[in-house]
Amino acid sequence: MILQHGVRLEQQKTPSLKQKIQALPVPAGLAASKPLAPRQGKLDAAGIVAAAEAANIVDEFDGAPLFQKLKRMRRLRVKTILACCFDEDPYTSSAMATLRENTDAIIAGLVLAAKACGAQENKIAVATAHEARVIKRINPQADLVIAGERYPARVLLKQKLRYSGETTAYIGAQACAALTMAVDNGRAQDFTVVTVAGDAVEDWRNVKVRIGVPLQFVLDACEVSPKTKIVITGSSVTGKAVMDLSQAVTASTRCVIALKKTPRNRTYPCIGCQKCARACPRGIRPWLIYHEMKRDRPDPLRLQNVQKCIGCATCSVACPSGIDLGGAVAKAAELKKSGDFN
Ligand code: SF4
Ligand code: SF4
């Protein structure tokens, strides 16, 4: 049964949700973007797509330009469009904070997005019943759906809705709010909300950051410890270590995690528990792929379903032996695509 897939992760969002989103200063030299050209004609679907393109709106969850996503959703005849207003990994809370402080703008942006792609329904996806109650107190009109707390909740919710016959697609909370800003105020997407957390950060928080500022600027503004050994951006499950802190913040930098110790990747032999297979939302058996990939010449017939992998790393998180199963499946998918089995 698909709903039993995924893993339960210990959530550590409370510290960063305790306070309001803090706007960081804009460094001198980063010019304010010009207002968008006034809209011509009425605001139909094409007009909304054009506004999303002119405002350079990028979906914070997948890094895709919003106007392209809207066009694709129309082609796919998406029935229900969901604003993704939850963060499925343990540290990040930027989507939740954005929803709590911009509920009306997100609802308005979601309605615009639904009109642009022809979706019949639109809903706001939150993680828990508690979060739903928080949002209902802010705006009783919000139409909510609860994704649940098992990682990867986005995929699991989408699968659940698909099994009930709905074609669904997600838009990020920040992208929704940016669409409202573009249409109502003629503003480009200049800012993004980033969670700054980790044991090298005393005061975990969500900050509103000018897109394009260096990561080092954000770390300095948040008084991150000079003892920081590693900085990770993106999801705390699938995020990547940053080697160069002059790298710019983008619309999809949802989280910056600063740690005083580099995580130790100690692994143990596979014990055959199959937790990885039970956790995988795509029906892959990662432990079989892992063993096959350790052979000198992997058999393509034994690398089943690897092309269906979405890179969520749920299998790696579930593995009690600490094996990088997500990496093994990704390598298997590459190998199968290349066809180079000699
Ligand atoms: S990374 Fe791939 S194999 Fe692992 S759980 Fe996710 S979809 Fe399954
Ligand atoms: S979860 Fe880890 S130990 Fe268990 S079967 Fe999968 S690879 Fe082996």
Domain of 34, CATH number, reads: 3.40.50
Q: How many domains does the chain have?
A: 3
* pLDDT tier, 11 (very low <50, low <70, confident <90, very high otherwise): confident
Measured from the CB, is residue 6 less than 6 Å from ligand 1? no
Contacts of 202 (CB under 8 A, 6+ apart): 223, 225
Would 266 be classed as within a structural domain? no
Residue 14 shares a structural domain with residue 74: yes
Residue 65 shares a structural domain with residue 85: yes
Q: Is pLDDT of 85 > 80?
A: yes
**Average of per-residue pLDDT across 268-279:** 96
Count of beta carbons in the 10 Å neighbourhood of residue 299? 9
Q: Is pLDDT of 40 > 80?
A: no
pLDDT number for residue 5: 87
* pLDDT tier, 146 (very low <50, low <70, confident <90, very high otherwise): very high
Specify the higher pLDDT residue, 264 or 59: 59
Residue 147 shares a structural domain with residue 210: no
310 neighbors 257 (Cβ within 8 angstroms):
no
Give pLDDT tens digits for 183-196.
999 999 999 999 99
Q: Is pLDDT of 2 > 50?
A: no
pLDDT number for residue 142: 94
Name the residue at shortest CA distance from atom 8 of ligand 2. 270
Q: Which of 319, 324, 329 to probe ligand 2 with, by most ligand atoms within 8 A of CB?
A: 319
CA distances from 328 to 89, 234, 287 (A): 21, 21, 9
Which of the listed residues 185, 220, 245 is the one where a domain comes to its end?
185
Measured from the CB, is residue 152 less than 6 Å from ligand 1? no
Predicted TM-score of the model (pTM) = 0.91
Please identify, by atom number, the ligand 2 atom nearest to the C-alpha of residue 274. 5
- Ligand 2 centre and the CA of 313: distance in Å? 13
Residue 77 shares a structural domain with residue 174: yes
Residue 127 shares a structural domain with residue 41: yes
161 neighbors 123 (Cβ within 8 angstroms):
no
Query: Degrees (nearest 5) of the Cα angle 205, 209, 210?
Result: 180
pLDDT number for residue 54: 95
Residue 156 shares a structural domain with residue 70: yes
Would 265 be classed as within a structural domain? no
- Ligand 1 centre and the CA of 332: distance in Å? 12
Domain with 110 in it: 2-185
Backbone φ, ψ for residue 86 (5° rounding): -140, 160
- Ligand index nearest the alpha carbon of residue 329: 1
267 neighbors 290 (Cβ within 8 angstroms):
no
Residue 225 shares a structural domain with residue 179: no
pLDDT number for residue 266: 85
Only one residue has tokens 């309001």, namely 20
- Ligand index nearest the alpha carbon of residue 280: 1
- Ligand index nearest the alpha carbon of residue 159: 1
pLDDT number for residue 322: 94
Measured from the CB, is residue 333 less than 6 Å from ligand 1? no
Would 269 be classed as within a structural domain? no
Give pLDDT tens digits for 206-241.
999 999 999 999 999 999 999 999 999 988 788 889
Q: Is pLDDT of 37 > 90?
A: no
- Cα–Cα distance between 307 and 327 in angstroms, integer? 13
- Ligand 1 centre and the CA of 309: distance in Å? 5
- The β-bridge relationship of strands 80-84 and 121-126 is parallel
Residue 131 shares a structural domain with residue 247: no
Q: Is pLDDT of 113 > 90?
A: yes
Taking alpha carbons only, the member of 286, 239, 275 closest to residue 259 is: 239
Quote the mean pLDDT of the chain. Answer: 93
Residue 104 shares a structural domain with residue 216: no
- The β-bridge relationship of strands 150-151 and 168-172 is unpaired
Report the amino acid identity of residue 30. Answer: L
Name the residue at shortest CA distance from atom 8 of ligand 1. 280
